[in-house]
Amino acid sequence: MTSFRLGSGLAAWSVLVLASALGSQYVGGLHPCELCLWQRWPWAAAAVLGIAGSLVPQAARWLMALAVLTLLVGAGIAGYHVGVEQGLWAGTSACGGTATPTDIEALRRQLMAAPVVRCDTPALVVLGLSMAAWNGVVSLATAVVVGWFARRATAA
């Protein structure tokens, strides 16, 4: 596989994953929690690294290695999120809207703002896995596939 095809494939796959997350949010009505939003950043970075790898074949192996690390970080974030969902540890302070308003006007603004989405309650479970868990599985699988092909990629 050429570095162009590998980079382009990674970019396309990453955009597809991000599009499915945005589609579930804006079309499906599943509002993301703070950790769900964090899980999107590694996919965006992987898309950029994939594009760069397809455009700069001389650096493609290094860029794909960086993409693999980025995807592993994404899997780590997903694992942390699953731990929060399972009650193994607490989420961030932004999970669950625990901020305390300082006055009545701040309380009103907080209540009228976007819905509070808790990180410890899965918005959707598919085949026994939460969306965070699926993101971890897909992140790990993509990291393995990209790493495997990057070791065998040729410049072109």
CATH of the domain at 28: 1.20.1550
Per the CB < 8 A criterion, the answer to whether 133 and 78 are in contact is yes
Is 142 among the domain residues? yes
Average pLDDT over residues 75-79: 95
| CA end-to-end span of the chain | 9
What range does the domain containing 86 cover?
Answer: 3-92+103-152
pLDDT of residue 32: 87
Read off the pTM: 0.82
Domain count, the chain: 1
Average pLDDT over residues 31-41: 90
pLDDT of residue 115: 64
Is 98 among the domain residues? no
pLDDT in tens, 114-142: 566 777 777 877 898 888 899 999 999 99
Across all residues in the chain, what is the average pLDDT?
86
Per the CB < 8 A criterion, the answer to whether 46 and 147 are in contact is no
Instruction: State the DSSP string of 61-75.
Output: HHHHHHHHHHHHHHH
